[in-house]
Each structure stands twice: as C-alpha cells, then as structure tokens.
Amino acid sequence: MSEKEKLALLEETLEVDEGTLMPETMLDDVDEYDSMAKLSLIVMMEDEFGVKLDSDTVKGFMTVSDILKKMEG
C-alpha cells in the first residue's frame, strides 16, 4: 500500500476531508483526532494491517508520520 493510500485510509478513519493530512501534520492540530478517532484508529490498524496498538502507543503519536510508520509493521 502506497503512502497516498495509507493517508486516504487514515483520513477516512479520522473522518477528515481528503487531502487534509500530510506526514508532517501534527495530530494536536487535527480537531477530529479525539478519543473516538483514537478508538477507530486502533480498530482500523488491527483490521487492515494486523497491528495491535495499546493506548500508550496511541498517546505517543505526535504526527501523522508516526501512524504511517506503524502501518508498516
């Protein structure tokens, strides 16, 4: 899966407009990145990539790039 496809999936999961997220986007700047979005992220990561995230890992995400790196395994 390309980075563009991963970004599109992440945008869909976080319910933000297409083209909104870039790898350097700070998650604190994304209004939609709330507790429900974090739960959706955890579910999506396991369903799509087989990656199990715990709450400490999710709390450690600072940028979109941090999430993209986890998508790689």
Sketch the domain layout of the chain as residue ranges: 3-71
Per-residue pLDDT of the chain (73 residues; tens, 9 = 90+): 999 999 999 999 999 999 999 999 999 999 999 999 999 999 999 999 999 999 999 999 999 999 999 998 6
Give the ranges where the chain is alpha helix by DSSP (H).
3-14, 35-49, 55-60, 64-71
Cα 48 to Cα 6, 7, 11, 26, 53, distances in angstroms: 10, 13, 14, 23, 12
CATH tag, 3-71:
1.10.1200.10
67 and 2 Cβ atoms separated by less than 8 Å: no
Q: How many CB atoms lie within 10 A of CB 45?
A: 21
Give the global pTM.
0.93
Residue 26, CA atoms < 13 Å, CB-side half-sphere: 2
